[in-house]
């Protein structure tokens, strides 16, 4: 019983992954227009931070 992980630790970090993928796709779309997009970069950073926070607890 001591080795069981809490249910929170077994859940896949869906929201950070969605933010990361959305930001990357948006960034690639914007880069083709030769424009400096900051909002997709923010999404990517928040997604990466969420993943780091999720896996740091393990």
Q: What tens digit of pLDDT does each residue of 8-26 get?
A: 556 888 888 888 888 888 8
Does residue 44 have a pLDDT over 70? yes
Band (pLDDT 50/70/90 cuts) for residue 1 is: very low
Name the residue among 28, 57, 22, 58 with its Cα closest to residue 43: 22
**pTM for the whole structure:** 0.46
Provide the pLDDT for residue 56. 86
> What mean pLDDT comes out for the span 52-56?
87
Find out whether 44 and 9 touch, Cβ atoms under 8 Å. no
* Structural Rg of the chain based on CA atoms: 15
* Cα distance between residue 38 and residue 45, in whole Å: 11
Distance from C-alpha of 22 to C-alpha of 3, rounded to nearest angstrom: 36
CB 1 within 8 A of CB 49: no
């Amino acid at each position: 019983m001591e080795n069981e992980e809490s249910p929170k630790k077994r859940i896949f970090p869906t929201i950070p992954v969605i933010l990361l993928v959305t930001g990357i796709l948006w960034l690639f779309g914007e880069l083709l227009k030769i424009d400096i997009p900051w909002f997709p970069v923010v999404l990517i950073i928040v997604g990466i931070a969420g993943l780091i926070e999720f896996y740091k607890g393990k």
